Amino acid sequence: MSAGVSTTFDDKHSEASTLTNPTLVLNCGSSSIKYALISEDEGTRITGLAENLGLDTARIKHTTLNGEKLEIAIAGGRHELALQKILELLEQYHFIAVGHRVVHGGREYSEAVRVDAHVLAEVKRLKVLAPLHNPANALGIEAVQAIYPDIPQVVVFDTAFHQTMPPVAFRYPLPKALYSEHKIRRYGFHGTSHAYVSERASHITSATGPHGWLTAHLGNGCSATAVYDGKSLDTSMGLTPLEGLMMGTRSGDVDPSLHIHLKRQLGMSLEEIDKMLNSESGLLGISGLSNDLRTIEQAANEGHEDAKLAIEMFCYRVGKYLASLSCALPDFTGIVFTGGIGENSVTTRTRILEVMRHFGIKVDADKNAGLVGGNEGSFHADDSSIELWVVPTDEECRIAQETRAALGLK
């Protein structure tokens, strides 16, 4: 244990009691691990992030209960070592369960499940559908198992919430055997976020239910979902998280013939095309500057033409998608914005709604301007056809809730 860590352990002993029966939430990615320790009443949490895994610059950024920030270097950058350090940092709080965000649950899982040998094998097997993510998720489960074999673990699948989609929404118009024999279908992602914000919106609105929401999760990854009466009816992401909206570095929808065209005309390999569509496109590809909307907004304000186009395209594509997803809803209560962009960019929200100009949506500009930096609230004018909400997402909280529920804890 590093010296930096041990000094803060002494300071925090008195705080341990305030985190009652906490659940540890782990989100193990290919180069990062996000974690949160959340008390039973969800009022208290410790959070952190291990980043740059696999590189010499790997480190854990940990925020203690009293807000103190620590940085711990991970020699060699190994995933297992980072997880060990994270568990060391948190063991004094006696977590009672661990909930893992797992990207792909295929069509087998429509809810969170307790980990056993079969479930772990399934998470690994489903790497055919999520080659970058599921193996890292499985590693996290095994690391916890090795150190705390008696602590129950639960997997919460990013795809599970969308398992309520009807075939008309989840099938691709492709030969049937691709679906029945090879599971080629639309799965959808960001499920915990869409579930969390739609449930929250239904809780805080005064509209009588059942409610029909379009939830727009706009972060680095972006997706939109039609949620009616708590169920996902359609969503923008598909077999993989590449389908749908334009994102930070992902293209979203392109002509399916693009691959063959680029292969024939430019001699690009499938791997090169895949990398280009996932890592070099979207806001980054169009602006030529960054995948970070703040950087692009600043450049656009200074007259950068490609930055202006990137923002216009982003908003146009989100608005167009929301309009089409509204067809899935029997009743349209409102739109819920979330994610780093949805929660913070007042102008992006305004522009997206301008794209939907035939819907009779009216924005209260003052309320919209006040919804930044983690504020929750509505911003529709009194005479708007539908409601407009900003609900900061809390995927960790949702994963902790689902973990406790799967284990029969309160």
Q: Which residues are annotated as part of the binding site? A: 27, 34, 101, 217-221, 292-294, 340-344, 395
Q: Please say which residue, 122 or 243, places its beta carbon nearer to ligand ADP.
A: 243
Distance from first CA to last CA of the chain, Å, rounded? Answer: 34
Q: Is the CA virtual torsion 106, 108, 111, 114 positive or negative?
A: negative
Nearest distance from C-beta of residue 394 to ligand ADP, angstroms = 12
- Give binding residues for ATP as ranges: 34, 217-221, 292-294, 340-344
DSSP string of 389-404, one letter each residue:
EE----HHHHHHHHHH
Q: How many CB atoms lie within 10 A of CB 179?
A: 16
The H-or-E segment that residue 126 falls in is none
Q: How many CB atoms lie within 10 A of CB 15?
A: 15
Do the Cβ atoms of 114 and 407 come closer than 8 Å? yes
Phi, psi angle pair for 6, to nearest 5°:
-65, -35
- Give binding residues for substrate as ranges: 101
Tokens of 323: 């309009």
Q: Please say which residue, 58 or 247, places its beta carbon nearer to ligand ADP.
A: 247
| Annotated catalytic residue within 10, 116, 158, 364 | 158
Q: Please say which residue, 226 or 296, places its beta carbon nearer to ligand ADP.
A: 296
Do the Cβ atoms of 309 and 297 come closer than 8 Å? no
Nearest distance from C-beta of residue 47 to ligand ADP, angstroms = 13
Binding site for ligand ADP (CB under 6 A): 219-221, 248, 292-294, 339-341, 344-345
Q: In this chain, which residue has its C-beta nearest to ligand ADP?
A: 340
Between CA 3 and CA 167 the distance in angstroms is 56
Do the Cβ atoms of 86 and 65 come closer than 8 Å? no
Nearest distance from C-beta of residue 221 to ligand ADP, angstroms = 5
Q: Please say which residue, 15 or 292, places its beta carbon nearer to ligand ADP.
A: 292
Q: Is the backbone of residue 371 left (phi > 0), alpha (psi -120 to 50) or beta?
A: beta
169: Cβ contacts below 8 Å, ≥ 6 apart:
186, 233, 234, 235, 328
Tokens of 156: 């919460």
Q: Please say which residue, 235 or 344, places its beta carbon nearer to ligand ADP.
A: 344
Q: How far is CA 47 from CA 12, 15, 60, 130, 339, in A?
A: 14, 15, 11, 26, 18
Q: Which residues pair with 338 in a beta bridge?
A: 217
Tokens of 404: 């406790």
Q: Please say which residue, 232 or 249, places its beta carbon nearer to ligand ADP.
A: 249
Active site residue 158: yes
Q: Which residues pair with 37 in a beta bridge?
A: 24, 46
Catalytic residues: 158
